[in-house]
Chains A and B, each alone.
Chain A
Amino acid sequence: MPVVAIACRVLESLMEPYLRDAAIPVTCKEYGLHRTPTLMAAALQQEIDRLAEPSVVILGYGLCGNGLVGLKARQHTLIVPRADDCIMLLLGSYERYVEEFSAEPGTYYLTKGWLASGSHPLREYEELVEKYGQESADWIINEQYRNYRRLVLVASSQAELIACRAQALEVARFCAVRWGFRYEEHIGSTDFVERLVAEAHQLRKSTDDFLLIPPGGEIKQEMFWRKLGEGKQQAPNPDARVSNRN
Chain B
Amino acid sequence: MNDTFTQISNAVYEGRAKDMPGLTNGALAAGLTPQEILDRGLTQGMQLIGKDFKEGKRFIPELLLAARAMQASLNILRPLFVQTGVKMAGKVVIGTVKGDLHDIGKTLVGMMLEGAGFEVIDLGKDVAPEQFVEAVKHEKPNIVALSALLTTTMQSMGRTIELLKEAGLREQVRVMIGGAPVTSDFACQINADAYGSSAPDAVEIAKKFARVS
Q: Which A residues form the contact surface with B (CB < 8 A)?
A: 63, 65-66, 84, 98, 101, 105-106, 128, 131-132, 136, 139-140, 143-144, 147-148, 220-222, 224-228, 241, 243-245
Contact = CB atoms under 8 A, between A and B. Distances in A.
B35 interface: no
Contacts of A140: 61, 64-65
B151 A226 contact: yes
Contact of B188 (A101, A136, A226, A245): A245
A243 B185 contact: yes
- Tell me the dominant secondary structure on chain A's binding face: loop
Contacts of B167: none
B65, B99, B181, B183 interface centre (most CB from chain A within 10 Å): B181
B107 interface: yes
B180 A243 contact: no
Interface in B101-155: 101-104, 107, 125-126, 150-155
17 contacts: A63-B151, A63-B181, A101-B152, A105-B101, A139-B65, A140-B65, A143-B104, A221-B181, A221-B182, A221-B183, A221-B186, A222-B183, A222-B185, A224-B151, A226-B151, A228-B156, A244-B189
B100 interface: yes
Contacts of A63: 151, 181
Given A101-B152, A105-B100, A143-B107, A225 B181 contact: yes
A166 B76 CA distance: 47
Nearest to A220: B183
Contacts of B125: 147
Top 9 closest pairs, chain A to chain B, by CB: A147-B101, A245-B188, A228-B152, A243-B188, A106-B101, A140-B61, A227-B155, A221-B183, A225-B151
Contacts of A132: 15, 61, 65
B191 interface: yes
A105 B99 contact: yes
Contacts of A106: 101
A241 B190 CA distance: 11
B68 interface: yes
Interface residues on B, range: 20 to 34
Given A66-B180, A225-B186, 11 more contacts: A98-B152, A105-B101, A132-B15, A139-B65, A139-B68, A144-B104, A147-B125, A225-B154, A243-B185, A243-B189, A245-B188
Given A65-B180, A84-B151, A140-B65, A148 B188 contact: no
A228 B183 contact: no
Contacts of B68: 139
Nearest to A36: B56
A205 B125 CA distance: 37
A147 B103 contact: yes
B85 to A, nearest CB: 33
A144 B68 CA distance: 14
Contact of B181 (A84, A131, A147, A148): A84
B83 to A, nearest CB: 30
A244 B155 contact: no
Interface in B62-84: 64-65, 68
Nearest to A94: B152
Contacts of A222: 183, 185-186
B182 to A, nearest CB: 8
A147 to B, nearest CB: 4
A88 to B, nearest CB: 10
A136 B15 contact: yes
Nearest to A149: B101
A105 B156 CA distance: 15
A224 B101 contact: no
A222 to B, nearest CB: 6
B174 to A, nearest CB: 14
A148 B181 CA distance: 20
Contacts of B150: 84
B61 A128 contact: yes
A124 B138 CA distance: 40
Contact of B99 (A131, A221, A228, A243): A228
B155 A136 contact: no
A61 to B, nearest CB: 14
